[in-house]
Chains A and B, each alone.
Chain A
Amino acid sequence: MSIADWIVLLSTLVFITVYGIYKSRGNKNIEGYLLGNKTMPWYTVGLSIMATQASAITFLSAPGQAFTDGMRFLQFYFGLPIAMVVLCITVVPIFHRLKIYTAYEYLETRFDLKTRSLGALLFLIQRGLAAGLTIYAPSIILSSLLGWNMYLTNIFIGGIVVLYTVVGGTKAVSYTQLGQMTIILSGIGLAAILLFQLLPEYLTFSNVISIAGKSGKLNLVDFNFDLNNRYNVWSGVIGGFFLAMAYFGTDQSQVGRYLTGKSITEIRLGLLFNGIVKIPMQLFILFIGALLYVFYIFQPQPLFFNQVETNKVTQGEYKYEYAALEETFVKTQKAKKESTIALVQGLETNNEPLVESATASLNNHIVESDKIRQQARDLIKKNDPKADANDTNYIFLRFVTDYLPEGIIGLLIAVIFAASMSSTSSELNALASTTVVDIYKRSIYKKGNDNHYLKVSKWATVIWGIYAILVAEFANRLGSLIEAVNILGSLFYGTILGIFLAGFYIKKIKGNAVFMAALIAEAVVIWCYFYTSISFLWYNLIGCFIVIGLGGLFELIWGKSDAQKKPTE
C-alpha cells in the first residue's frame, strides 16, 4: 500500500472512531449504555440494522461467490422483507411495551427463567463464535496483502472495536455505523464505476450483461424446488424468512439495534427501510462479482487468487505440474476471450446462429477453465494439506490491489474495516448486554446498583472482545466465510425462533414443554448438519417446527397429567 492509501485508511478509521465516541459522550447509566436512552430516529435504526448485518464477510465473499457460482445467492434474501413486515406487526409492539433490554427477557415473562437462560446461552454461544469470524475476515486481507502477522491484525481490529464499544456503548455503535455505512456505500459504488471503466471500451452495458448472463453468472432466480439445492426461490423465501425472523426477531445483536429507536414508528420505519433496501444493495455487491468475471475474460486471470498459497505451490514439489496447469489455463482463457468477442459480434449484428455457437463455445471453455482451477486447488491441497484451497474471498481484493489506483485501495480497505467493525461492535454490545442483563444481573448478582451494572457491562464488552479475537485466530479453515457465518447461525436460530414463536403465538405451550422441545430440536439440527445433505437454510425451519410441534405435544401430555394430578393434591 502507498502512503496515500495509508492516509486514507487511517484517517477514515480515526474519524469514525472519534465521531462515535464524541457523539455518545455522557453515558452515565445502564439504560444509556445499553439502549442509548431510546433516542434514535428511523434512519439511524435502519442503517444500524443494515450495518450490523453487512459485515466485511459480505463484501469479501459475495463478489467472489458471484464470480464462481453466479448471483443466485441473492435469493437467500427474498424472505427478509416478509420477515420485516411480520416483525413490525407482531414482535416490535411486544418488545416496546415490555420495555426490555434484551430479547431474552421476554422469554421469562412468557415462560420461565430456565427458558430465558437457554435462549440467552444459545445466543451467546453462536454469536460469540460469529463475532470472531467478523474480526477474522479483514485480517486475511492484511495478512495476504501486506504480509502482516494475522494474530496482530486480529488484535488491532478487535482492539479498535472494543475501545469505542466500551467507551460509548450502544450509542457509539449506532453513530459509528452511520459513518461506516457512508464509507461502505461510497467505496463500493466507486469500485463498481472503476471496474466498469476498466472493461474494453467497445463493450456496452448491454454487452456486459449478456456476457455475464451467457456465462451463467446472472442466475438470479431459480423456481425449481430442490431440498439439496442451497439457493432457489423456495429455500430463499421460506428458509430465508425463518432465518431473518430468527436473526432480526431473536438475535440480540439486531434486537439491541432497533430497541434504541425512540418510538414504535421509528423502529418500524427502520425495519421496513431495511426490507426495501437490503435486496438491491446485495444485488449490487453480487453484480460486482459478475462484472469481475467479465473483466477477467479480457484481462489475465490468476489461476488461483490467493497469492500466498500460489507462492507455496510454485516453490514446492509440484511446481512443474502447477506451471503446466497455468499454461493450459492461459490457453483456455484466450479461447474464452475469442468466444466472447464472437458473442459480442453476434449480439451487435443480431446474428442469432453466431450468438448460439459463440455461447456454446464460451460455455465449453468455462467448463474447461473451471476444471483447471479445480486441478490447481487439488495440487495446492496435495502440496500442503493444511492450505486454504478456497480463493473465493480473495477474488475482489486481488482485483482491488492489482488494478485500482492509489488512495482508492486505501478507501476499499477502509470499507472492509468499516464493515467488520460495524458488525463486531453490535455483536460485542449485544453479547455484553445479554451476559449482564440475562445471566449476571438475573441469576448471579441481583443487588447491584446502576453504576455497578454499568461497570460490569463495560468489562463484559472487554471480555467478549478478547474471546472474539481468540476465535478469530482459529478461523482460517472455513471455506466461504459468508456461508460459514450463515451455517453457524442456522444451527441455532431455528431452535431460538421456535421458542419465541411458541411464546408469541401459541399461548398453551408452557415453560417446561418448550424447554424440553428446544433441547431435542437443537440435537436434531446438529445431527442434520453432520449426517445429512439437507441445505442449511432448512435447519431454521426444522429447528423451529420441532420446538413448536414437540412443545405442543409435551404440553398436551404433561398438561393432561397435571390436570389429572391436581384434583388429588
Chain B
Amino acid sequence: MEQQEPQKPPIFGNWRAWYLFTLLVLVVQVVVYYFITENFK
C-alpha cells in the first residue's frame, strides 16, 4: 500500500513517524488528563 504513495509526507519524511507522532500526542494527553483528574479531585 505504501508503494502507491510516491510522494513523501512533509516534516517527518515518512508516514510511520507521522502515525507514531499522532499516537504519542494521544498518550501524552491521557497522562496529562489523568494527573489533572487526580490532582484536582
List A contacts of B30 (CB < 8 A).
78, 221, 233
Q: Are A275 and B22 in contact (CB under 8 A)?
A: yes
The residue of chain A having its C-beta at the shortest distance from the C-beta of B40 within the complex is A213
Q: Are A276 and B25 in contact (CB under 8 A)?
A: yes
Which residues A266-294 have CB closer than 8 A to chain B?
268-269, 272, 275-276, 279-280, 283
The residue of chain A having its C-beta at the shortest distance from the C-beta of B16 within the complex is A89
> Out of A82, A216, A221, which one reaches B23, CB within 8 Å?
A82
In the bound assembly, the distance between CA atoms of A88 and B19 in angstroms comes to 9
Given A82-B26, A263-B7, A264-B5, do A89 and B19 touch, yes or no (CB 8 Å)? yes
In the bound assembly, the distance between CA atoms of A327 and B4 in angstroms comes to 69
Q: Are B18 and A81 in contact (CB under 8 A)?
A: no
> Out of B9, B23, B37, which one reaches A269, CB within 8 Å?
B9
Q: Which of B34, B37, B39, B40 has the most C-beta atoms of chain A within 10 angstroms of its own C-beta?
A: B40
Q: Are A280 and B29 in contact (CB under 8 A)?
A: yes
List A contacts of B1 (CB < 8 A).
89-90, 93-94
The residue of chain B having its C-beta at the shortest distance from the C-beta of A280 within the complex is B29
Q: Are B4 and A93 in contact (CB under 8 A)?
A: yes
List A contacts of B37 (CB < 8 A).
213, 218-222
B1 to chain A: closest CB distance in Å?
A: 4
| Residue A49 is within 8 A (CB to CB) of chain B in the complex | no
> Out of A220, A263, A264, A280, which one reaches B34, CB within 8 Å?
A220
In the bound assembly, the distance between CA atoms of A84 and B21 in angstroms comes to 12
Which residues A231-266 have CB closer than 8 A to chain B?
233, 263-265
A136 to chain B: closest CB distance in Å?
A: 32
Q: Are B41 and A81 in contact (CB under 8 A)?
A: no
The residue of chain B having its C-beta at the shortest distance from the C-beta of A233 within the complex is B30
List B contacts of A221 (CB < 8 A).
30, 33-34, 37
Q: Are A210 and B40 in contact (CB under 8 A)?
A: yes
| Residue A74 is within 8 A (CB to CB) of chain B in the complex | yes
> Out of B19, B23, B26, B41, which one reaches A213, CB within 8 Å?
B41
In the bound assembly, the distance between CA atoms of A157 and B39 in angstroms comes to 44
Q: Are A85 and B41 in contact (CB under 8 A)?
A: no
Which residues A381-413 have CB closer than 8 A to chain B?
none
List A contacts of B7 (CB < 8 A).
263-265
Interface string of B1-31 (1 = CB under 8 A from A): 1001101011000010011011101100110
List B contacts of A81 (CB < 8 A).
22-23, 25-26
List B contacts of A97 (CB < 8 A).
4
Interface string of A81-110 (1 = CB under 8 A from B): 110110011100110110000000000000
Listed by A's residue number, 17 A-B pairs whose Cβ atoms lie within 8 Å are: A74-B33, A81-B25, A93-B1, A209-B36, A210-B40, A212-B40, A213-B39, A214-B41, A219-B37, A220-B34, A221-B33, A221-B34, A233-B30, A275-B22, A275-B26, A279-B26, A280-B29
Interface residues of A (CB under 8 A from B): 74, 78, 81-82, 84-85, 88-90, 93-94, 96-97, 209-210, 212-214, 216, 218-223, 233, 263-265, 268-269, 272, 275-276, 279-280, 283
